[in-house]
Structure 1
Amino acid sequence: MFNQLALNERLLKALDNLGFTEPTEVQKRSIPPALEGRDLLVCARTGSGKTAAFVLPILHRLQLSERPDAQARALILVPTRELARQVMKACEQLGRFTFIKADMIIGGEGFKEQRAMLRKNPEILIATPGRLVEHLEAESLHLNDIETLVLDEADRMLEMGFSEDLEKICNACADKRQTLLYSATLKRRGLSEIIASALDNPESLILDTPRKQSGDIDQQMILADDTGHKVKLLAHLLEHDPFDKALVFTNTRELADRLCGQLRGQGLPVGVLHGEMTQPERNQGMQLFRDGHFKVLVATDLAARGLDVKGVDLVINFDMPRNGDDYIHRIGRTGRADASGVAISLVCAYDWNLKAGIERYINTGLRKRQVEGLIASYKGPKKLKSSGKAASTKKRKPATKAKLKTGAKASGKRPASPVAGAGKKTASEQRENRPATPVDGDAPLRRKPGGAAKPRATGKPAAASPWGSDSGFEPPKRRK
């Protein structure tokens, strides 16, 4: 029960109003040490309640002490605008009975308007790294009063190229602060450096590993011949499989737009979400998806992190993700909060190696499935033949001279010359098959009947014979 976590009464009232009575595992284990002010390093699966696990301790600590003259006292860094909006919503819901203000600094919005907002000194600031660094460089924001720094999905921020920005932001924050790092995956290059520099003797809470994160999700794979075959399979799945809401992931923005248009042309209610859309377009698309105006959202990996939409029970990987972490975050959009879900991956020949690597990473195989009437001719990579048969397919070495003589004696016939076209030839044939005269500056040869070839006087040293002095080759004599 939340009332056993020693939270402020106003926060307990908000939780009760939202219908939350029993904390999740990550909340049970991380809220008590966070309330004590300890640095935390937490790895938990998507949909496990990580947002409330760090928002509640922040609200509790800010409620205990007031600092009206201070600037932002808590900073929550997130990789995407969508995740920032989700965290902002959680702060508003959980802090509705307090007087604590929260606001956002994200890209795609007016810089001047954000600067005016910062003058009001909100206690909690939710930000994406790129835009926050712009405000730091413009000196419209100072982080000297930060008491709690949260790095949410830090591995994703590093993957997006924000390592230098994270370093600048951590250095700009107050030295004496609490730092909380939450993520669904921790095996990312550069993350150990961030942990070493930003966290002070953190308590590690590894609640889930990639091998245990998808237990409530039915993971399937369907083989396809090419992209056109994938489109047919996708349309069939969306028309015949039962689901409330579905997310379709692609690896590129162009494919997301094209796929959305093709599905709309077939009468399916489909929306699209990717990074090249303006912020109002992204907000409108997400709201229409949440409200159920369309049941299918085609998106890039922008929607793989932090997107929490109720009712998403089907995820389809039109393109296989590039690594195991992205796969975990994609399918984690379904099966949230201990609910069940289905994840289907469409696999072509060029997807097979990615699929195999993901299976090794999550330590489980994807269940094969076929769609009647759309069964692929591609069945996976061909298996290698046995060693005995493979040996017989090797190229045979040319027979040696000794073997040729042996075979000639055995058959009683003269062996054929190994040189193509060997035998008695006419003079014209001999001229055609004669080795070419040396080029690239070599002196032309003048031959005398019965004599050795001598170079003409050209002022250049005579070139060595291309056949060698002891080659035994005698050029044909000219006719008189």
Structure 2
Amino acid sequence: MFAQFALHERLLKALDSLSFTEPTAVQAAAIPKALEGRDLRVTAQTGSGKTAAFLLPLLHRLLAEEKPKSGARALILLPTRELAQQTLKEVERFAQFTFIKACLITGGEDFKVQGARLRKNPEIIIGTPGRLNEQFNAGNLPLNDVEVLVLDEADRMLDMGFSEDVLKLAAQCPAQRQTLLFSATTGSGLREMIETVLREPEHLLLNQVSELNEEVSQQVVLVDEGEHKEAVLFWLLQNETYEKAIVFTNTRVQADRLTGRLIAAGHKVFVLHGEKDQKDRKLAIERLKQGAVKILVATDVAARGLDVDGLDLVINYDMPRKGDEYVHRIGRTGRAGAAGVAISLVAHTDWNLMSSIERYLKLRFEQRVIPGLKASYKGPKKVKASGKAAGTKKKKTDAGKKAGAKPAAKRKPAAKPKAPLASSDGMAPLKRKKPAAE
């Protein structure tokens, strides 16, 4: 029960109204330590409830001692607008019975409007590092009174090139602040950030990367590039049982193209990627949450911070390039222990990526064949050396040497046949296929 943490009564009242009863593993481990004022480095998988793990002790601290004349007392840094918006909503839910105010500062919104928002002196500032640095440079972001600094999805901020911005903002906060750093993975690149911003932190490792939600079925379907791959995607979206689905691509161009194809096929679809302005991105997420559309096609910009009830199917149309990205993509389904399905479409160009992700996660994906849509690609060919045949050949060679046989003249390499290749069963010749365009 959350009452065991001795949180402020107004927070307990909010938790009760939200039907929060049992804390998750990360909440049970992090909240008591954070309430003691310790710096924490927490590794916990996506969807494990880590937002509440840092917000509840942060809000408790602000409520325990009111400072009406101070500037912002808490700064929360996040990698994407979507995650920042989601965090603001969580603050509003948990602080509903308090007078604590928070404001959102991200790219894609009017700079002057944000400056005016900051001048209202909110207790909590939530934002992305790039825009927050711009506001700081403009003199709109005083950080002298910050008591708690939170770096959420720190690994993602590092991947997105925000390390310098994060370190600059952290350096402007008081040295005696409390810092809470959360990440879903344990990347070695985080070392500099951890050593710079944390003071004698306690490390809480709540899960290894391979300890993904057991309720999420992880499958792969072998596909051929082009029309066959699209046909498999259309079949899955037509025949799988799901409430809401997200289809991931690696590029914006691919996301837009697939969205057009799916709409033409009669599906209700929205697209989400970095070139969409803030208004369109908000609309896409809201429509998905409300059930106005069932399918969202997105690049990895949506892999962080997208928390949608009922999102129970994730399809990797393009395989993610790294194991970390796979973890965050499939983390969109199976939230808080719910069931879900993650399906990756694997063509010949994706096999090595899939294998490296399997090694990273220390698991084997379940291979699945779609009825009537079996791919001609069967995976890499296995070449087995025949020891018996090699031994026979060696014996013959040795025998020839003993008999004084002359070495055979070197043969010229055979010319490549220009005629079409014949099929193995003697049927009509097979046409040569041009390699598929990347």
TM-score when scaled to structure 1? 0.81
Contact 2:77/2:127 (CA < 8 Å) preserved in 1? yes
Contact 2:346/2:354 (CA < 8 Å) preserved in 1? yes
Instruction: Please report how far the alpha carbon of residue 227 of structure 1 lies from its aligned counterpart in structure 2 after TM superposition.
Output: 3.0
Aligned position for 2:247: 248
List per-residue Cα deviations over 1:334-375 (Å, max 9, x = no partner). Answer: 111111111000000000000000111111100010011100
Find the aligned partners of 1:120 and 1:133 in 2 and give their Cα distance. Answer: 18
3-state secondary structure, aligned to 1:204: strand
CA change 1:386–1:72 in 2 (3 A) is same
Instruction: Please report how far the alpha carbon of residue 83 of structure 1 lies from its aligned counterpart in structure 2 after TM superposition.
Output: 0.1
Aligned position for 1:269: 268
Instruction: Please report how far the alpha carbon of residue 44 of structure 1 lies from its aligned counterpart in structure 2 after TM superposition.
Output: 1.0
Matched, 1:145 2:133: no
CA change 1:68–1:384 in 2 (3 A) is same
**Mapping for residues 158-307 of structure 1, pairs under 5 Å:** 158-186=158-186, 188-307=187-306
3-state secondary structure, aligned to 1:349: coil
Aligned position for 2:11: 11
Moved more, 71-80 or 19-28: 19-28
Instruction: Please report how far the alpha carbon of residue 385 of structure 1 lies from its aligned counterpart in structure 2 after TM superposition.
Output: 2.0
3-state secondary structure, aligned to 1:32: helix
CA change 1:263–1:9 in 2 (3 A) is same
Instruction: Please report how far the alpha carbon of residue 416 of structure 1 lies from its aligned counterpart in structure 2 after TM superposition.
Output: 11
Aligned position for 1:27: 27
Contact 2:213/2:337 (CA < 8 Å) preserved in 1? no
Moved more, 138-147 or 102-111: 138-147
**Mapping for residues 263-412 of structure 1, pairs under 5 Å:** 263-386=262-385, 388=387, 407=405
List per-residue Cα deviations over 1:18-40 (Å, max 9, x = no partner). Answer: 11111111111111111111001
Contact 1:214/1:328 (CA < 8 Å) preserved in 2? no
Instruction: Please report how far the alpha carbon of residue 389 of structure 1 lies from its aligned counterpart in structure 2 after TM superposition.
Output: 7.7
Moved more, 293-302 or 66-75: 66-75
3-state secondary structure, aligned to 1:218: strand
Aligned position for 2:57: 57
CA change 1:73–1:416 in 2 (3 A) is closer
Instruction: Please report how far the alpha carbon of residue 418 of structure 1 lies from its aligned counterpart in structure 2 after TM superposition.
Output: 7.8
CA change 1:391–1:307 in 2 (3 A) is farther
List per-residue Cα deviations over 1:60-81 (Å, max 9, x = no partner). Answer: 1101111122111000000000
Q: Which AA in structure 2 matches 1:216?
A: E
Contact 1:153/1:182 (CA < 8 Å) preserved in 2? yes
Q: Which AA in structure 2 matches 1:323?
A: K
Aligned position for 1:89: 89
Q: Which AA in structure 1 matches 2:215?
A: D
Aligned position for 1:38: 38
Aligned position for 1:449: none
Q: Which AA in structure 2 matches 1:342?
A: V
Aligned position for 2:110: 110
CA change 1:385–1:123 in 2 (3 A) is same
Instruction: Please report how far the alpha carbon of residue 104 of structure 1 lies from its aligned counterpart in structure 2 after TM superposition.
Output: 0.7
Q: Which AA in structure 2 matches 1:257?
A: D
Runs of 4+ in 1 over 2 A off after TM superposition: 387-392, 405-408, 415-420
Find the aligned partners of 2:252 and 2:9 in 1 and give their Cα distance. Answer: 46
Find the aligned partners of 1:419 and 1:339 in 2 and give their Cα distance. Answer: 66
- Unpaired stretches in structure 1, ≥5 consecutive residues: 409-414, 421-480
Find the aligned partners of 1:329 and 1:251 in 2 and give their Cα distance. Answer: 14
Find the aligned partners of 2:84 and 2:143 in 1 and give their Cα distance. Answer: 19
CA change 1:416–1:252 in 2 (3 A) is closer
Find the aligned partners of 2:408 and 2:118 in 1 and give their Cα distance. Answer: 94
List per-residue Cα deviations over 1:244-295 (Å, max 9, x = no partner). Answer: 0001100001000000100111101111100000000000111001101110
Instruction: Please report how far the alpha carbon of residue 390 of structure 1 lies from its aligned counterpart in structure 2 after TM superposition.
Output: 8.9
Find the aligned partners of 2:50 and 2:408 in 1 and give their Cα distance. Answer: 82
Q: Which AA in structure 2 matches 1:191?
A: L
List per-residue Cα deviations over 1:105-146 (Å, max 9, x = no partner). Answer: 100001101111111110000010000111111121121111
Contact 1:144/1:172 (CA < 8 Å) preserved in 2? yes
Find the aligned partners of 1:219 and 1:265 in 2 and give their Cα distance. Answer: 29
3-state secondary structure, aligned to 2:167: helix
Contact 2:75/2:124 (CA < 8 Å) preserved in 1? yes
Find the aligned partners of 1:173 and 1:36 in 2 and give their Cα distance. Answer: 20
Contact 1:73/1:124 (CA < 8 Å) preserved in 2? yes
Instruction: Please report how far the alpha carbon of residue 417 of structure 1 lies from its aligned counterpart in structure 2 after TM superposition.
Output: 9.1
- In our comparison, the structure showing a higher alpha carbon Rg is 1
- Unpaired stretches in structure 2, ≥5 consecutive residues: 413-438
Find the aligned partners of 2:236 and 2:289 in 1 and give their Cα distance. Answer: 21
**Mapping for residues 65-76 of structure 1, pairs under 5 Å:** 65-76=65-76
Find the aligned partners of 1:75 and 1:418 in 2 and give their Cα distance. Answer: 76
CA change 1:7–1:388 in 2 (3 A) is same
Contact 1:152/1:182 (CA < 8 Å) preserved in 2? yes
Contact 2:71/2:122 (CA < 8 Å) preserved in 1? yes
Q: Which AA in structure 2 matches 1:132?
A: L
Find the aligned partners of 2:409 and 2:253 in 1 and give their Cα distance. Answer: 62
Find the aligned partners of 1:99 and 1:418 in 2 and give their Cα distance. Answer: 91
Find the aligned partners of 1:346 and 1:327 in 2 and give their Cα distance. Answer: 13
Q: Which AA in structure 1 matches 2:108?
A: G
Q: Which AA in structure 2 matches 1:8?
A: H
Find the aligned partners of 1:390 and 1:105 in 2 and give their Cα distance. Answer: 71
CA change 1:384–1:125 in 2 (3 A) is same
What RMSD over aligned residues (CA atoms) do the two structures have, in Å? 2.2
Find the aligned partners of 2:410 and 2:202 in 1 and give their Cα distance. Answer: 78
| Percent of pairs with identical residues | 59
Aligned position for 1:460: none
Instruction: Please report how far the alpha carbon of residue 388 of structure 1 lies from its aligned counterpart in structure 2 after TM superposition.
Output: 3.1
List per-residue Cα deviations over 1:190-218 (Å, max 9, x = no partner). Answer: 20111011001111110111111232210
3-state secondary structure, aligned to 1:70: coil
